[in-house]
Amino acid sequence: MSESVSICVIGSGYVGLVAAACFAEIGHRVICVDNDEARVKLLQEGGVPIFEEHLPELLAHHRDRGVVFSTDLGGAVESSEAIFIAVGTPQGESGAADLSYVEAVVSEIARSVTGYKVIVEKSTVPVYTNDWIRRVLHRHGVDPQSFHVVSNPEFLREGTAVCDFLHPDRIVVGAGDDRSVEVMRRIYEPLTGGSYYSQPGALRGQCSITRPAPLVVTSAQSAEIIKHASNAFLALKISFINAVANLAEAVDADIEDIAAGMGSDSRIGPKFLRAGLGYGGSCFPKDVAAFHWVAQQRGIDFQLLSEIRKINDTQREIFFNKVLSALWTLRGKRLAALGLAFKGDTDDIRESPALDIIKKLLDAGAVVTAYDPAAVERAKAVMPPAANLIYADDLYVASSGADAVLILTDWSEFGNIDLVKLNQVVRFPIVVDGRNLYKPQTMAEHGFTYVSMGRPATYHAQQGKPRGEVNAVAR
């Protein structure tokens, strides 16, 4: 039986809330703190502020037992052995990470250190942040014997966050002393020893009692760089395949076949080779920029990182131009935008390529009807409904009377559209797919002109109606 550790998680966002629920799930006592009073109230009353698979069930099970929610950071720190910092580290103006939220939290922690504490960086931070946290604590007069700072980067993805947390490819702990590593070992023991996986009701995934999660112990600097380098490398894979997609399109090749062919080389691997609108989200864009800044600060010319970003930015332009060439002009055109979130299975719209593209279409004079299975409310908060921007509750309603349907987010719902019904409701059967969710031949067979990324377009012989008539030719 693993030992329960008292844990404080600061930040109840996509990372903090998932970490808090998962630590409770593996047997620890958790206080999750946020300074957003409304959010904490919602959590205390049984609400779940983010859309994330398995999270509502975990919170329902552990709320007020393994995990409690509070705004009292000092009290939570006093009664915890390990303090996980999971606040935001957004991009600052220079490209560097803005660490002001981390600093504010560390200053508050300093006032409440009583007894030995392990202070854990869970937020994504640049190398040497660990040292800075230590220095800030010293400046506030905290006894150096009473704490250690550990880097424990998080690799979860939104949409699969709970499963990623409980079934990780690896758990990285960067520390410079044995005492804090021992505390971290105790915290993760149910996953690294495997006992969690044989527990009744344990969430199933890639790890098991015989194949538990590996723990990797490194220096703090190495752990900090592992996080930035991992995100930058994943972003590189995406930009690489997008650059190849653009070449493929120029020579009438098919990027899906190319990605499958490349990905079956075990040294390359099939993941993160999906061409499309480029990466968005709250992490890849800011982490590639922050990693570049870190390298520049050390006098290292890591130009590859700016190329990754440039290719990524270009994808949105390329998509926009595809819409333009499919429709000739955009002023007054009715477009159905399927997707608002930065990727499927999340309500997160931060740095979403979909929102960026919708803004460009609106600027060009189009009228957009948007639908997303989870992100409509968040989108409305930043792009309020207007005469030229309507939000729909259903993809067929959004597509009704559309001059073209645009697929902007890779929700599985958008990969399983009833194409006969779609063809009946649209004005013209034109689909511009930024996520390559369909085979061109299937779309042609259903009477659509289909334009996607890195593949030859298929044209419907007769762009007008009669509705539902299947009369397609592949170019």
User: Which residues are catalytic, by number?
Assistant: 283
Residue 294 near ligand NAD by CB under 6 A = no
Q: Contact between 157 and ligand UGA (CB under 6 A)?
A: yes
CA–CA separation, 352 vs 350, rounded Å? 5
256 or 348: whose CB is closer to ligand NAD? 348
For ligand NAD, the closer of residues 350 and 460 by Cβ is 350
Check binding of 164 to ligand NAD (CB under 6 A): no
Q: How far is the CB of 410 from ligand UGA (least distance, A)?
A: 6
Residue with the two structure tokens 């629920």: 21
Q: Binding to ligand UGA by residue 343, rule CB under 6 A?
A: yes
Of residues 200, 180, 202, 177, the one with CA closest to residue 191: 202
Among 180, 231, 449, 452, binds ligand UGA (CB under 6 A): 231
- For 61, phi then psi, to 5°, come to -75, -40
Select the residue interacting with ligand UGA from 128, 272, 302, 396 (CB under 6 A): 272
77 binds, among ligand NAD, ligand UGA, none (CB under 5 to 8 A by kind): none
Residue in the block written with tokens 């398995």: 54
Verify binding: residue 80, ligand NAD, rule CB under 6 A: no
Q: Which of 5, 8, 9, 15 binds ligand NAD (CB under 6 A)?
A: 15
Pairing of strands 215-218, 334-338: unpaired
The reply on whether position 283 binds ligand UGA by CB under 6 A is: yes
Strand order in the sheet with 117-121: 67-70, 29-33, 6-10, 82-85, 117-121, 147-151, 171-174, 215-218
Task: Determine if 282 is a binding residue for ligand NAD (CB under 6 A).
Answer: yes
| Residue 286 is a binding residue for ligand UGA (CB under 6 A) | no
Candidates 100-108, 319-327, 335-343, 379-387; binding stretch for ligand NAD (CB under 6 A): 100-108
Which residues, listed in sequence order, are joined to residue 205 by a DSSP beta bridge? Answer: none
Which range binds ligand UGA by CB under 6 A, 138-146, 150-158, 174-182, 212-220? 150-158
- Do residues 451 and 326 make contact, with C-beta atoms less than 8 angstroms apart? yes
Buried b (16+ CB within 10 A) or exposed e, 51-71: bbebbeebbeebbeebbbbbe
In the list 11, 168, 339, 429, the residue contacting ligand NAD (rule: CB under 6 A) is 11
289 counts as binding ligand UGA under rule CB under 6 A: no
Reduced to 3 states (helix: H, G, I; strand: E, B; else coil), residue 30 is: strand
279: contact with ligand UGA by CB under 6 A? yes
Q: Which residues of 190-213 are buried (b: 16+ CB within 10 A; e: fewer)?
A: bbbebbbbeeeebbebebeeeebb
Using CB under 6 A, which of the segments 90-98, 186-194, 279-287, 332-340 binds ligand UGA?
279-287
User: Any idea what DSSP says for residue 2?
Assistant: P
Q: What is the DSSP string of 200-228?
A: TTPPPSS--SSS---EEEE-HHHHHHHHH
Q: Minimum distance from CB of 247 to ligand UGA (Å)? A: 17
Among 2, 4, 6, 35, binds ligand NAD (CB under 6 A): 35
Q: Cα–Cα distances in Å, from 362 out to 226, 321, 355, 398, 410?
A: 40, 14, 10, 16, 22
Contact 407, 413 (CB under 8 A): no
Contact region for ligand NAD (CB under 6 A) — 99-107, 198-206, 326-334, 335-343?
99-107
273 binds ligand UGA (CB under 6 A): yes
101 binds, among ligand NAD, ligand UGA, none (CB under 5 to 8 A by kind): ligand NAD
CA distance 415 to 437: 5
Instruction: Rule CB under 6 A: say whether 291 interacts with ligand UGA.
Output: no
Q: Which residue is nearest to ligand NAD (CB)?
A: 13
3-state secondary structure of 239: helix
Number of chain residues interacting with ligand UGA (CB under 6 A): 21
Q: How far is CA 257 from the centre of its chain?
A: 26
Examine residue 158 and tell whether it contacts ligand UGA (CB under 6 A): yes
> With binding defined as CB under 6 A, does residue 91 bind ligand NAD?
no
Please report, for residues 41, 395, 472, the alpha-carbon distance to residue 44 in angstroms, rounded to integers and kept in the order given: 5, 34, 56
Question: Which of these segments, 20-28, 86-94, 188-196, 379-387, binds ligand NAD (CB under 6 A)?
Answer: 86-94
Residue numbers at the binding site for ligand UGA (CB under 6 A):
124, 154-158, 231, 234, 238, 272-274, 276, 278-281, 283-284, 342-343
Residue numbers at the binding site for ligand NAD (CB under 6 A):
10-16, 33-36, 39, 73, 86-89, 101, 104-105, 123-124, 154, 156, 158, 282-283
